[in-house]
Every structure is written in C-alpha cells, then in structure tokens.
Amino acid sequence: MSNQQRFSGEWKIKRLGEIASIRNQKVMPEDVNPNTLCVELEHIGSGNGQLLENSSAEYSTASKYRFFTGDVLFGRLRSYLRKYWLADRDGICTTEIWPLMVDSKQVDSAFLHAIVQTDEFFAMANLSYGTHMPRTDWTVMCNFTVMLPSMQEQRAIAEVLSDVDGLINALDALIAKKRAIKQATMQQLLTGDTRLPGFSGEWEMKKMGQIGSIYGGLSGKTKTDFEGGNALYVTFLGVLENVILDMRHTERVHVRQGESQNSVMEGDLLFNASSETPGDLAIGAVMGEQLENLYLNSFCFGFRIHDKNKYIPLFFAYYFRGSVGRAIMNALAQGATRYNMSKSQFRDLELSIPSGAEQRAITAVLSDMDAEIAALEQRRDKTIAIKQGMMQQLLTGKVRLVKPER
C-alpha cells in the first residue's frame, strides 16, 4: 500500500500584475477571419464561468481585444455580475472584457481562473470607476494579492475545482432539461391536447368574471407607512418569482385599525398589472396558506375564486404561466414603454376549463415536476456552496491536497 503525501512547502505572495496582464491586442472585426469567435458580455453566464452563446467577427462592429486559448476572460463592466471564462479557443471579445494572459512560468491559467472567482477578487474588482457604467480599474486590480503554490499544486487544485464545476454544470443542464419538459407538459395538459388517464369529455367555456372577482392592492399609502409596520404585504417580485407564493417575498407595512384595504386570503390568485415587456404581464401566483394581516402591493391585483372545489386556484396559476396564458396576456397588453392590462378585459377573458377533478390531476402532475426541479436546484446550490468553501481552503493553503501518484 503506497504512502500518500500531501503537498508541502511555502507559497509565494505575488501581486496580480506580476503574474498576469491584459492582452492589449486590439483589432477591428473586419480585419480578421469573418468566422472568428466573438464574445460579448451577454454571452458569458453570471457566476458560472460558462460561455452560453457566441457570435462571430462577421456580425461584429467596433474595436475588439484578441484572446487566445488559455486566457482568462473577465468582465470588467459591472463586475458584480461575476462574468469570467477560461478560453478554450482563440477569438476576439468586447473591450468591456479583459483577456488576462498569464506568465506561464509562475501561474497556471486554470489556477488564475479559480482566483478570479473568489469573493475577495470581486470585492476588489467592485472598487470601480463610473456611476452608471461602473468599470473595474486595472491600476487597482494589478495590486490584488495572490498566493501561489508550486505549479504542480496549482494544477492539482484547478483540477479538483474543475471537477466540481463539471458537476454543477451537469446539474444546470439537467435542470434546464426538466424545465423544458415541464413547459411541454403544460402546453399539452393545460390546453387539453393531451388528457390524463381516466378523463374525457368536453371542457367548458367560462369567463374569468364568472369564476371569481378582482380586488386591488394597497392604496393611499405614503413612504412612512412602509418604514416597518404591523402587517405584511406581498411584493411585486413575490408575485413573479413562484407559482405558489414564497413568504420570503413579503415586507412590512403599517395598516391602521379600521382602514379600508383588501386582505390576501388563502387560495387567492395574484397578478402583476404592469410590466416592461408584454410577455411578462399578469404572471399568476397563488397564495398557499392563510395568514392574518396580509396585503398586496399596489402594482398588482388579486383574484378571488368563488368556488374553489370547482375551480382550482393552482390550475389557473399554472395556466397563466404557461404558453397559452402568456399568449393571451401578450395580446391584451397596452402601452409603449411600459405595458398594462385592463381589468375589464381580464374579467371578459373566456377560457376552456376542465372539471375540478381533472384540474386537480393536472396540478398534481405539474407540482410533482416543480418539486423535482426544486430538489435539483437545492442540490446545485448546495454544491456551489461546497465549492465556495473548497476555494476558501484550497486557494489559501489552509488545506493541502494529496500529491497524485506517478
């Protein structure tokens, strides 16, 4: 049995500017092969180091930076978005991205890629200049302190962290696949194109105004009413985020005794009454529990179903989040820069609706899918947290890896 030995020896302390520099090779897109890879800021994922999409020089304008395989690309514009990528091919990129080339005698590029992901690196990167378009300052970043082990240990650390990244990326891909399957299932089940076993017969046509009644959010409130308070209200974001309301998306408001305000009750559907894009108008969420003194923000409206045995609130929340519901709301959107919807139009909406039993069966299928996706997201988030802890230990030398056997 072999004796496993851990890496040992002192680490060197260096400044970033001593081990890496910006590859300041500017070029115009028309001066390179039109098929050359072009990376813009929006092509890089936030906080995951993935190149989500790309373009080519043929469709690019303005001066670009060249980069080469092994360069670490770092988004200097709005660095709080945490955009970084270890280039696996040559190309050009926007000048809002720094292509960092390493001194290969001192640092491995994959190790530097791990360094730029740390909270400490981003904390310093956020010491930027510019208010509306904050950019990271190289004269500041070049003094960032980096601890360097031997090249062999650098590569070992980078390999371990890369393996964890592989697991995170695989979970992201699986989550995306499950979401796509859910969307396809919603399209089939919420339109009646596919019927669950045991269900047949025609769906009935009903107007929303026959199913329930609309109520408004908070009114007559001033800024001081939202500085603490004796009650809670559902935020605008809370309505958008989840199909079943997450109570973490509530804030405090003061409601005086006897004040005329509409309370949110269990089973109520909540909708945003305005949005910046027509496709995001009136995204439904359902209140899943009964709470006292709960109200709704003034930019949303509530819908209370009269007979919750015949018309299942969660079914309607899924319906209005699905492609059919989105298409209906998109058609009803009014406005130019900001889109709104008439409540009278909402009341007049006529939907094809299955029986209460079929509604329950459909929501059970979709709820199970949501639970599976939520479990995967929780697993991914836990893996990300583990990686952050590993980085804190491995990139500072607090924990040393076992040397690979030769």
12-148 matches 204-353 in fold:
yes
% of the chain with per-residue pLDDT over 90: 83
Crossing angle for the helix pair 356-394 and 151-189, nearest 10 degrees?
170
Q: How far apart are CA 43 and CA 45, in angstroms?
A: 7
| pLDDT given at position 335 | 87
Contact 85, 39 (CB under 8 A): yes
| pLDDT given at position 224 | 93
CA 161 to chain centroid: 22
CA 70 to chain centroid: 27
* List of residues 6+ apart from 257 with CB closer than 8 A: none
Of the candidate CATH numbers 2.40.50.100, 3.90.220.20, 2.40.50.140, 3.40.605.10, the domain formed by 12-148 belongs to: 3.90.220.20
Q: How far apart are CA 16 and CA 22, in angstroms?
A: 11
Region 204-353: CATH code:
3.90.220.20
Contact 323, 186 (CB under 8 A): yes
Residues belonging to the chain: 406
Tokens of 358: 């079929």
Q: How far apart are CA 318 and CA 303, in angstroms?
A: 14
| pLDDT given at position 404 | 80
* Ranges in the chain, pLDDT < 70: 1-3, 406
Burial label for 117, CB within 10 Å (0-12, 13-18, 19+), is: buried
Contact 115, 146 (CB under 8 A): yes
* List of residues 6+ apart from 281 with CB closer than 8 A: 272, 273, 274, 275, 329, 330, 332, 333, 339, 340, 341
* List of residues 6+ apart from 356 with CB closer than 8 A: 309, 310, 311, 312
For the chain, the distance separating the N- and C-terminal CA atoms, rounded to the nearest angstrom, is: 14
* List of residues 6+ apart from 343 with CB closer than 8 A: 214, 273, 301
* List of residues 6+ apart from 389 with CB closer than 8 A: none
Long-range contact set of residues 81-87: C-beta below 8 Å, sequence gap at least 24:
81/41, 81/46, 81/47, 82/46, 82/47, 82/117, 82/122, 83/41, 83/44, 83/45, 83/46, 84/44, 84/49, 84/113, 84/116, 84/117, 85/39, 85/44, 85/49, 85/50, 85/51, 86/49, 86/110, 86/113
13-34 CB burial, b ≥16 within 10 A, e <16 = ebebebbbbbbeeeeebeebee
* List of residues 6+ apart from 335 with CB closer than 8 A: 274
Tokens of 234: 């559902």
How distant, in Å, are the alpha carbons of 264, 270, 317 from that of 275? Answer: 21, 14, 17
Tokens of 127: 């010491």
| pLDDT given at position 406 | 61
Tokens 């809370």 map to which residue?
238
Q: Which of 367, 245, 259, 351 is nearest to 300 (CA)?
A: 245
Domain map (residue ranges) of the chain? 12-148, 204-353
Question: Which helix or strand (DSSP H or E) is residue 404 part of?
Answer: none
Contact 301, 343 (CB under 8 A): yes
CA angle 109, 111, 113 (to 5 degrees): 70
| pLDDT given at position 387 | 96
Tokens of 344: 């009278």
Q: How far apart are CA 339 and CA 396, in angstroms?
A: 50
